[in-house]
Amino acid sequence: MRIKYRGIVQTRAYTCVLPLVIWLMLLLVGLVAACGICNSGNGATYSPISAAVVGPGQSSDPFAGVWTKSEEAVAAAVAKGRTDAHLVRALGFFQDDGFPLEDATLSGGRTVTYFVGLEAGVELNRDDLQSLGLEEAKVFPQTATVALVPVREMELKPNEIVDALSSLPGVRWAELGRPRSVARIPNDEHYPRQWGPPVIGLPEAWDISVGNEGVVIAVLDSGVARDIKDLADCIVSPYSTMYETSDSWAWEDVTGHGSGVAAIAAARGDNFVGMAGTAWNVSLMPVHFTDGDTADELDYIAAIYYAVDHGADVINISYGSREAMTAEREAIEYALGSGVVVVASVGNGGRGAGVQYPAAIPGVIAVGAVDHTKQLASFSSTGRGIDVVAPGKDILTYDAGESWYGISQGRNGTSFATPFVSGLTALMLSVAPDLTPAEVQRIIKETATDLGPLGPDTLYGDGLVNADAAMAAALSIAKRTFSDVPTEHRYADAIEGLAALGVIDGRANGTFGPGDPVLRAQFAKMICGALSLPVDASQSAPFRDLGDDDPLSLYPHQYVAAAADYGITVGVAPGLFAPWLNISRAQVVTMLVRAVQAVAPDSIEMPPWDFVGVVRILDKNHGPTMLIAEYNDLLEGLAGYGPTWDPWQSAMRGEVADMLWRLLQR
């Protein structure tokens, strides 16, 4: 009764003041209309970022902060006198995952923006911009950077526009702007109970991409429950090697294992249903080869070949054996050789059990499991060969039986850690489709968050998979090109690979300079970055010729100090490092060999006593290390490598990158 009485009082109060409110509203409308008339010809322009009116009058924009894709909003904008260009700039055109669509037309989201960097004194030609459907939105004279926005719809794709901008005279670089937002959180019903995604940085990774349906994850398992809404729409080319048919009854999951694994990898996200998978928008290929805890070897091997031959980009294998099979190894090598990434669980044998096959096969990404505290799960197998770990205890995912399915919170096993990495791989391939299996494995290992003992170990491998960092590295590879390093360049793979890992970088003009010499200080930084050596600003180098240090310089002294601490360099003479001298090929080889012997001695082999190298060098300091480098093929592929290859010649940036890259591939 009290609430009802208050409502009556409020109604009466509103009734009393209603005529006054109406009068005030009419007066306000009149004033707004008058202001609109006064400002109609003042030359005001609309900012492509905030859509607020700038210029004389500083009128407020009715669309500021109200981004909408409704027809009513467009009609209202037209009524306000907006031109098509204003509409495009104000309303933008972005698709659901935050990436720009392939043309700039009206839709919800934010503005498509391109940025270019100009050489000193250069201005963009207006005709060139008009031919690309662009106009200048803002100039940042501090760095000669210009922001450009679309003014009409074009048939060119955004990457083609970027390429065209890059080719204009005086343009140092060009790129497509990326939206800035908080980490993306899906609205799925059970997502708040999923502890795994935030621990490995998936919300931040989803800001980059939630997947591309053209990327296919093959889950080799017990099939999937086809009635699960989170999975039904993304299934492609399902098959049962156990029954040799694609009929749905054959690949229908009756154990729940395959459904749980598949959902972690690829359940649809942000759809208000169930849970969110690691890669929301990719395609799922269920390949059924078992109905229980064990499987027939023939069905399993056939599943690998089926997945490769029917378009899989990623293969997830949560089954394994402690015994190696040649047939399995050759099937896995066939997959890797076909460009298919293979991700497998290390096994549930616990500490000391060793990594099971196929995870133990070189080139396969081997995945262990941790709990929500990032501690190794008690069941996770340990031993040499573990690459990374991922959430694998008390995992929320789907479960299923012969006539039911549902969400389960307590799934345990490296089986459920592996699809986190498979899903991440699919996300990486969505933004960088040309990544090779070796590159994917390298990025995932290099970007992992170290756990346990410092550096790679037999418990956690390289650490907890870091989706955010891995996606950033993949995107960097996709975007990274140097104008003087074409695809066919001898050292292109090495240069692009190291650049993606942040070990090396190009120049401000977009070139790399593969034929330029390397300074000794430069190489100290490169070797520390390549091997992820801990570098601290407090480290002091034992050389008196370094001069005053500048922490903001490209080559601060701590890299030289770290290299000296690890015995990688001893200088050119007692107390002297000669940082600004060109480093010779022989010095590079010696420092490389010393570095790997210091941090990863098992990854390099010592040559037999009777091994004779190709390079002739009698120096007592560099001769033995040159033999080690040759025996381990670190010099293979270098331009001119052979008996006439001069070890005392200055090392060039391209060949140094190639030697570093070969070392990292071991």
Look at residue 473 and tell me whether its pLDDT is greater than 80: yes
CA 560 – CA 58 distance, rounded (Å):
55
H/E stretch holding 458 reads none
CA 85 – CA 579 distance, rounded (Å):
54
Pick the CATH number of 191-473 from 3.60.15.10, 2.40.10.120, 3.40.50.200, 3.40.920.10: 3.40.50.200
90 neighbors 63 (Cβ within 8 angstroms): yes
- Residues 431, 505, 501, 640, Cα dihedral to 10°: 110
**Which comes out higher in pLDDT, residue 251 or 103?**
251
168 neighbors 126 (Cβ within 8 angstroms): no
pLDDT digits (tens, 9 = 90+) for 67-79: 233 344 334 434 4
Using only C-alpha atoms, the chain has a radius of gyration, in whole angstroms, of: 30
CA 666 – CA 653 distance, rounded (Å):
21
pLDDT digits (tens, 9 = 90+) for 183-212: 678 888 999 999 999 999 999 999 888 998
pLDDT of the residue at 183: 65
Give me the DSSP letters along 373-422: TSPBPTT---STT--EEEE-SSEEEEEE-SS-EEEEEEE-SHHHHHHHHH
Sign of the dihedral through C-alpha 527, 528, 529, 532: positive
pLDDT digits (tens, 9 = 90+) for 505-533: 777 566 889 999 998 888 988 888 888 78
Q: What is the DSSP letter of 255?
A: S
Q: Give which of 256, 221, 500 is closest to 343, Cα–Cα.
A: 221
H/E stretch holding 620 reads none
pLDDT of the residue at 72: 42
pLDDT digits (tens, 9 = 90+) for 297-332: 899 999 999 999 999 999 999 999 998 899 999 999
Q: List Cα–Cα distances, 598 to 53, 534, 564, 603, 611, in angstroms.
A: 61, 13, 11, 11, 23
CA 390 – CA 408 distance, rounded (Å):
18
117 Cβ contact list (under 8 Å, min separation 6): 143, 144, 145, 146, 171, 172, 173, 174, 508
Q: Is 248 a catalytic residue?
A: no
Look at residue 362 and tell me whether its pLDDT is greater than 80: yes
Mean pLDDT of 175-182: 62
55 neighbors 43 (Cβ within 8 angstroms): yes
Considering the domain delimited by 47-180, tell me its CATH architecture: 2-Layer Sandwich (3.30)
Give me the DSSP letters along 136-198: EEEEETTTTEEEEEE-S--SS-HHHHHHHHHTSTTEEEEEE-----SPP----TTGGG--HHH
Burial 548-580 (b: 16+ CB within 10 A, else e): ebeeeeebbbbbbbbbbbbebbbbeeeeebbbe
Q: What is the DSSP letter of 519?
A: B
- Tell me if 47-180 shares its fold with 191-473: no
Catalytic residue among 237, 240, 381, 415: 415
Q: Is 415 a catalytic residue?
A: yes
Q: In this predicted structure, which of 40-44, 368-372, 623-627 has the lowest mean pLDDT? A: 40-44
CA 248 – CA 663 distance, rounded (Å):
47
Catalytic residue among 222, 240, 257, 299: 257
Tokens encoding 215? 């990327």
Tokens encoding 42? 């003042």
Domain residue spans in the chain? Answer: 1-38, 47-180, 191-473, 493-664
Which burial class, exposed, middle or buried, applies to 632 when counting CB atoms under 10 A from its CB (0-12, 13-18, 19+)? buried
Q: Is 293 a catalytic residue?
A: no
410, β-bridge pairs: none
Q: Give which of 385, 214, 396 is closest to 314, Cα–Cα.
A: 214
CA 68 – CA 75 distance, rounded (Å):
12
Q: Give pTM, 2 decimals.
A: 0.55
**Helical H segments across 483-640, by residue range:** 492-500, 520-530, 557-565, 585-599, 623-631
388, β-bridge pairs: 367
Mean pLDDT of 648-656: 93
Look at residue 596 and tell me whether its pLDDT is greater than 90: no
3-state secondary structure of 116: strand
CA 643 – CA 373 distance, rounded (Å):
56
Catalytic residue among 188, 207, 221, 462: 221
CA 115 – CA 165 distance, rounded (Å):
9
